[in-house]
Amino acid sequence: MADLSKARILAVANQKGGVGKTTTAINLGTALAAIGEKVLIVDLDPQGNASTGLGIDRKARKRSTYDVLVGEARFRQVILPTAVPGLDIAPSTMDLLGVEVEIASDKQRAYRLRDALSQLQQDGDDPYSYVLVDCPPSFNILTINSLAAAQAILVPLQCEFFALEGLSQLLRTVDQVRATLNPALTIQGVVLTMFDARNNLSGQVVADVRQFMGDKVFDTIIPRNVRVSEAPSHGKPVLLYDLNCSGSQAYLKLASEIIQRERALKAA
């Protein structure tokens, strides 16, 4: 029988910056926690926006995902609670910029995150049901570690003109990772973000992406909503900042859609 206690590890990835990766990691994580899942966000971006957006002060980041990747700490020494019950974070610092060089000579360097997460599973007495890895906007060793550790990739895609082009490039990379590092990697889904109903182009992009990716695209579309962009400066997920806004409601819907998909996968 499958081990159902094992965490579902999702890489939130897209090589483009500013498409909603961090926003999705924070707010999907919060929404999953709100409906009873136990969630860990792993901040793998040197910018540390997920950490800041969840109210983790830079001074509080004594240890970070950098220490985990270079083998100087275990996850359990790095993970911090957030203001959201059931949501923890492994914060990042700028030190992450140095990881590539520091682990360059290790032949197994792509598996640092995978191994550290399985160590966490062994250490943990309260296992996570979801681990969301917030990736940087590039294909460096950090993203590669994330794709090697994940069971599936969750792709935020901004509703804009070049969306499909970027997506094709991403799919090629996923194929490469499957062929080399992680044969089991699947595409969990594509989530369309920053949809603007007043912009005709947004609607066209949605239609094109659905045609190209079929049912991999989530039914839920995240609208462009100013409350979503304000929340991080208050160190809060939008669900804590303004539960009733359209952005919060969309992320709650996305969370329940993901849980339904996961149930269908387990039942299959």
Tokens of 90: 């492994």
Q: Give the list of residues 6+ apart from residue 19 with CB closer than 8 angstroms, or none.
A: 156, 157, 158, 166, 193, 194
Tokens of 210: 């659905």
Size of the site for ligand ADP (CB under 6 A): 18
Nearest to 248 by CA among 88, 30, 38: 30
> Which of ligand ADP, Mg ion, none lies near 247, with the C-beta cut-off 5 to 8 A by kind?
ligand ADP
Nearest to 240 by CA among 87, 97, 95, 84: 84
Q: What is the 3-state secondary structure (H, E, C) of 96-129?
A: HHHHHHHCCCCCCHHHHHHHHHHHHHHHCCCCCC
Q: What DSSP string describes 163-214?
A: HHHHHHHHHHHHHHHHHHT-TT-EEEEEEEESB-TT-HHHHHHHHHHHHHHG
Site string for ligand ADP, 2-31 (x = CB under 6 A): ---------------xxxxxxx--------
189/232 with CB nearer Mg ion: 232
**Sole window of 63-71, 178-186, 205-213, 221-229 interacting with ligand ADP (rule: CB under 6 A):** 221-229
Least spacing, CB of residue 191 vs Mg ion, in Å: 14
233/260 with CB nearer Mg ion: 233
Site string for ligand ADP, 180-199 (x = CB under 6 A): -------------xx-----
Selected binder of ligand ADP within 56, 228, 254, 258 (CB under 6 A): 228
Please tell me whether residue 247 binds ligand ADP under the rule CB under 6 A. Answer: yes
45/242 with CB nearer Mg ion: 45
49/93 with CB nearer Mg ion: 49
Site string for ligand ADP, 39-58 (x = CB under 6 A): ----------x---------
97/103 with CB nearer ligand ADP: 97
Strand partners, 80: 89
What distance in Å separates the CA atoms of residue 132 and residue 39, rounded to the nearest whole number?
A: 8
29/73 with CB nearer ligand ADP: 29
Q: Give the list of residues 6+ apart from residue 58 with CB closer than 8 angstroms, or none.
A: 48, 52, 93
Task: Name which of residues 18 to 37 contact Mg ion (CB under 5 A).
Answer: 21-22
User: Is residue 90 a contact partner of residue 128, using CB atoms and an 8 Å limit?
Assistant: no
18/71 with CB nearer Mg ion: 18
Residues lying near ligand ADP in the complex (CB under 6 A) are found at 17-23, 49, 137, 193-194, 222, 224-225, 228-229, 232, 247
Residues lying near Mg ion in the complex (CB under 5 A) are found at 21-22, 49
